[in-house]
Amino acid sequence: MINKLVIFGVGLIGGSLALALREAHFCKTVVGCSRNAVHLQKAVELGVIDSFSLDPAEAVRDADMVLLAVPMGAMRHLLQQIKPALPADAILTDAGSTKGSIVAEVAQVFGANFTRFVPGHPIAGREKSGVEAAIADLYVNRRVILTPQAHTDADAVAKVEAMWRVTGAVLESMPVELHDQVLAATSHLPHLLAFSLVDTLLNMPQREDILRYAAGGFRDFTRIASSDPVMWRDIFLTNKEAILAVIADFQDNLGNFYDMIAAQDGEALHQCMTRAKQARDNYVAQFEKQEQ
Ligand SMILES: NC(=O)C1=CN([C@@H]2O[C@H](COP(=O)(O)OP(=O)(O)OC[C@H]3O[C@@H](n4cnc5c(N)ncnc54)[C@H](O)[C@@H]3O)[C@@H](O)[C@H]2O)C=CC1
Ligand SMILES: O=C(O)C(=O)Cc1ccc(O)cc1
């Protein structure tokens, strides 16, 4: 049970957590904070939060749990604003998509031995953003990865786990570096490719015909290019090393496809795509089993 939960950034991710926790009566009060009073007022009207403040220091007063759910590039400034007012026993956690940068920023702002920060990342979401997109069941059967460090307080980790469990999420724990490498491959690269594909087509002289005749495959592949550019800019910038590494791997692989087609090597193309199809089919079958 949480007495006062403060959510910085009451959008898709923060708002969905608030809705799930309120539905389960897990918090006495949920307070929202960001820079935009209109959005926060909307969040109150939608029943996502009880009240809001535009002042981070005032918002965290008497809080026992504080969640950061803003774009990665906004985290550091927020940490600096919260620091003087965060109650000594409050737990700080986040829902950001990359973990190395926020872990480093918390160490810089709160000190390397700050024990009550529990880094977290719900592997759930969609291409829509803002509080209107928030839904109470966003996290049901979805993974939430926590990346606590050796010095992170075990009781704080247990409390953050308990909070996410209430939403129906399945908890996992992994090291920060591994998190950022895995997510660079499975989430960040696909989003980058979707943005890049649409951008490539936009630069072609035949772009209007291309978009007019695009079929379902184009729509499926590019759904995530409708995601928020600010959020994704920040993810790409804060996971620089891991993303550059997977881009390089992808460029190699794309180069192989180029060479196989140029050489008219149908055998090699077929082998490569059969391997990929099998892996993709197995992944989908696994995913559908988990859903049941
Ligand atoms: N959208 C997704 O599918 C997922 C997003 N995430 C992460 O969760 C975080 C939030 O993402 P969403 O909820 O999708 O975004 P959103 O755009 O729906 O909500 C972000 C909220 O942060 C506020 N905000 C933006 N800049 C701010 C600033 N400088 N100071 C204070 N508040 C500010 C906005 O007013 C908005 O309420 C991001 O770090 C993102 O990487 C994690 C998992 C999935
Ligand atoms: O829209 C989709 O399919 C996503 O992949 C959502 C998503 C976006 C960012 C994350 O850090 C985690 C999940």
Question: According to the model, what pLDDT value does residue 289 have?
Answer: 81
Q: Report percent pLDDT > 70 for the chain.
A: 100
The residue count of the chain comes to 292
Kindly state the tokens that stand for 120.
Answer: 């977290």
Ligand 1 binding pocket mutation candidate from 6, 8, 10, 12 (most atoms within 8 A of CB): 12
Query: Cβ(19)–Cβ(135) under 8 Å?
Result: yes
Q: What is the pLDDT of residues 172-219, one digit of tens each?
A: 999 999 999 999 999 999 999 999 999 999 999 988 888 888 888 999
Q: Is the distance from the beta carbon of residue 39 to the nearest atom of ligand 1 less than 6 Å?
A: yes
Q: Say how far apart CA 160 and CA 147 lie, in whole Å.
A: 11
Class of domain 178-291: mainly alpha
Q: Say how far apart CA 122 and CA 69 lie, in whole Å.
A: 11
Question: Which positions of the chain have pLDDT values less than 50?
Answer: none
Ligand 2 atom at minimal distance to the Cα of residue 96: 11
Beta-carbon contacts of residue 27 (< 8 Å; ≥ 6 apart): 1, 2, 3, 4, 5, 21
C-alpha 70 chain-centroid distance? 10
Taking the domains of the chain in order of start, what are their residue ranges? 2-174, 178-291
Q: Whose CA is nearest to atom 12 of ligand 2?
A: 123
Give the predicted TM-score (pTM) of the model. Answer: 0.97
Ligand 2 binding pocket mutation candidate from 224, 228, 287 (most atoms within 8 A of CB): 224
Angle, CA 224 vertex, CA 222 and CA 225 arms, to 5°: 65
Q: Whose CA is nearest to atom 29 of ligand 1?
A: 74
Query: Cβ(23)–Cβ(169) under 8 Å?
Result: no
Question: According to the model, what pLDDT value does residue 287 have?
Answer: 79
Question: According to the model, what pLDDT value does residue 209 have?
Answer: 86
Q: Is the distance from the beta carbon of residue 13 to the nearest atom of ligand 1 less than 6 Å?
A: yes
> Exposure pattern of 162-189 as b/e (b: 16+ CB <10 Å)?
ebbebbebeeeeeebeebbbebbeebbb
Ligand 2 atom at minimal distance to the Cα of residue 190: 5
Question: According to the model, what pLDDT value does residue 140 have?
Answer: 97
Query: Cβ(76)–Cβ(15) under 8 Å?
Result: no
Kindly state the tokens that stand for 107.
Answer: 């160490």
**Phi/psi-derived region of residue 25, left when phi > 0, alpha when psi is between -120 and 50, beta in every other case:** left
Residues with CB under 6 A from ligand 2: 97, 123, 125-127, 187, 224
- CA of 151 from ligand 1 middle (Å) equals 27
Q: Whose CA is nearest to atom 2 of ligand 1?
A: 125
Q: Whose CA is nearest to atom 3 of ligand 2?
A: 126
Identify the architecture of domain 2-174 in CATH. Answer: 3-Layer(aba) Sandwich (3.40)
3-class state of residue 114 by DSSP: coil
Q: Say how far apart CA 59 and CA 87 lie, in whole Å.
A: 11
User: Considering only CA atoms, which of 154, 123, 157, 127 is closest in space to residue 140?
Assistant: 123
Beta-carbon contacts of residue 259 (< 8 Å; ≥ 6 apart): 265
